Structure 1
Amino acid sequence: MIHVSPISAFNDNYIWLLSCSDSNTAWVVDPGDPTPVNQYLKQHQLTLAGVLITHHHYDHVGGLQALVKQHNAITYGPASEHIEGIQHSLSAGDTLSVLGTEFQVLEVGGHTRGHIAYYSDQLLDQPTLFCGDTLFAGGCGRLFEGTPQQMYQSLSQIAALPANTLIYCAHEYTLANLQFANAVEPNNGKLLQRIQQVKQLRAESKPSVPSLLSEELETNPFLRSHQTTVQAAATQHAGKPLDNPIDVFATIRRWKDNF
């Protein structure tokens, strides 16, 4: 049986560790810091076999070369981004095997141009996505390199996955994201309920992720730019009529940047 465990790093990063109960082998996703990874491996008597990278930002790759040197781990990452230490470059539609489980690569640019995500319908009892900084619980990544259209298309690709997909994002931003979502849709009952649930989790020092894609579709404004309530909020914020989902998305993304 495969387990997915969060390793906290920096102020709010999650490094995801995949391990198998039948062996002492592990993989990690986006190790920005090698120290907590090595501590976890030692504590649980695990051997690091591989590393998956979603994009080039330092808080996701800062520990990569040290871990490769220490553990002789195999590494995978996006083909269109230059990242020191990547041995196998991946593009949309590529597949790879992790702990005997097949993953499919999705290209989800926007936060960075070459950002990728790793999707499997075999890893756990339900579909699983490691999406880095593209989709967050209740939010999405800033557009540092890509365009609103690119990010909208990336998020639409994720939104089309099975509704029971587990979303493993890379940051504990959920409560702040949901507070913004509430400014966009103050009358969204599902959202209000989710805010209370996340507050309780954080009060107990528990991660608010992974989330379910179904709850993102109900409460995340960046997946809801086709909804009339989100379009109305974007129109009011922009001071002009907006009904094209990409324009709506671009407006609420700029809104969030200054929220």
Structure 2
Amino acid sequence: MPVHPIPALSDNYIWVYQSPDLNFIVDPGEAQPVLDYIQDQNIRLDAILLTHNHDDHTGGVREILAQIPDLPVYGPQETADFNSVQVAPMDTITLKNHKLAVYLTAGHTSGHISYLIDDKNLFCGDSLFMAGCGRVFTGDYHAEFETLQLFAAMEGGVQVFAGHEYTQTNLAFAQTVNLDDEEFQANVKALSQQVDRRIQAGFPSLPSTIAIELNCNPFMRASSVDTFKALRDLRDNF
């Protein structure tokens, strides 16, 4: 798999897309782990991709640029202070023959975007987590609901690279809702066991896939904005 996690801060992942012809990082909340990784791997970075403007996703950008000053930074309007290339929803970026589609995935922030590379790997920041989604800091629950509907329409095999290791808590919450849906609860229990084994072995729970989210994510299964908001309110107080 060409995507690798760099743990950062308390529970963030900085994702590295690493291939023979293209190397980029997504949402560097810290600089030193990135600088250490590229030195250890002896790779040259081609770009930084930003999904939104929270400091735990952008905090390492300036220090990385101080070390690699020619490195292009792609991001939405809300990360304009860091961007050398500003992107917008529905844009398609081509980096060394790799196609990156840009999607508006608002709700967590108003201008949050996600990147889908080569129709296979989704870098979604804090808009989607395994068995969860980001807090709706904007108060725009309709926007976050639409974001989840967008993800639900993607191919089931798309791998989902979220920005945080929240999976065990998300799955614990999922086991408290939709209790009358036996299939959902069985899926959640099975996934919880798999994730626990991975975490205990020292591995990330991620990536997920769109198929996993459709089976185990209560927010992805919400049928309306009102249902989604009720679930999000419960999760916020969990």
TM-score range, shorter chain: over 0.9
Following TM superposition, the consecutive aligned residue runs of length 4 or more in structure 1 with deviations greater than 3 angstroms are none
Change beyond 3 A, Cα 1:82–1:167: closer
- Corresponding residue for residue 145 of structure 2: 152
Displacement of 1:99: 4.2
Q: How many Å separate the matches in 2 of 1:65 and 1:84?
A: 10
Displacement of 1:113: 0.4
8 Å CA contact retained: 1:217, 1:224: yes
- Corresponding residue for residue 235 of structure 1: none
Displacement of 1:146: 4.3
Please tell me whether residue 247 in structure 1 is matched to residue 226 in structure 2: yes
The code of the aligned residue for 1:130 comes to F
Task: Give secondary structure in 2 for the equivalent of 1:215.
Answer: helix
Displacement of 1:84: 1.9
The code of the aligned residue for 2:102 comes to V
Q: How many Å separate the matches in 2 of 1:90 and 1:189?
A: 41
Task: Give secondary structure in 2 for the equivalent of 1:221.
Answer: coil
Task: Give secondary structure in 2 for the equivalent of 1:139.
Answer: coil
Please tell me whether residue 18 in structure 1 is matched to residue 17 in structure 2: yes
- Corresponding residue for residue 160 of structure 2: 167
The code of the aligned residue for 1:121 comes to D
Q: How many Å separate the matches in 1 of 2:168 and 2:96?
A: 33
8 Å CA contact retained: 2:105, 2:112: yes
Alignment of 1:199-210 (within 5 A): 199-210=196-207
Task: Give secondary structure in 1 for the equivalent of 2:193.
Answer: helix
Where does the alignment leave 5 or more consecutive residues of structure 1 unmatched? 227-244
8 Å CA contact retained: 1:112, 1:146: no
8 Å CA contact retained: 2:28, 2:57: yes
Alignment of 1:117-132 (within 5 A): 117-122=114-119, 127-132=120-125
Displacement of 1:47: 1.2
Q: 1:89 aligns with which of 83, 86, 89?
A: 86
The code of the aligned residue for 1:183 comes to T
Q: How many Å separate the matches in 1 of 2:8 and 2:92?
A: 28
Displacement of 1:5: 0.7
Q: How many Å separate the matches in 2 of 1:107 and 1:200?
A: 34
TM-score (norm 1): 0.87
Alignment of 1:218-257 (within 5 A): 218-226=215-223, 245-257=224-236
Displacement of 1:91: 1.1
Please tell me whether residue 57 in structure 1 is matched to residue 48 in structure 2: no
Change beyond 3 A, Cα 1:31–1:82: closer
Displacement of 1:222: 0.4
Task: Give secondary structure in 2 for the equivalent of 1:185.
Answer: coil
Where does the alignment leave 5 or more consecutive residues of structure 2 unmatched? none
Q: How many Å separate the matches in 2 of 1:137 and 1:99?
A: 30
Deviates more, 1:81-90 or 1:110-119: 81-90
- The RMSD of aligned alpha carbons is 1.3
The code of the aligned residue for 1:51 comes to I
- Corresponding residue for residue 75 of structure 1: 73
The code of the aligned residue for 2:107 comes to G
* Deviations 1:150-205 (CA, angstroms, capped at 9, x unpaired): 10001101110111110010100001000001101344111110011111111101
8 Å CA contact retained: 2:80, 2:86: no
* Deviations 1:47-91 (CA, angstroms, capped at 9, x unpaired): 122100000000000011121221121010012x14422111111
Task: Give secondary structure in 1 for the equivalent of 2:13.
Answer: strand
Aligned residues: 233
The code of the aligned residue for 1:93 comes to M
The code of the aligned residue for 2:9 comes to F
8 Å CA contact retained: 1:113, 1:146: no
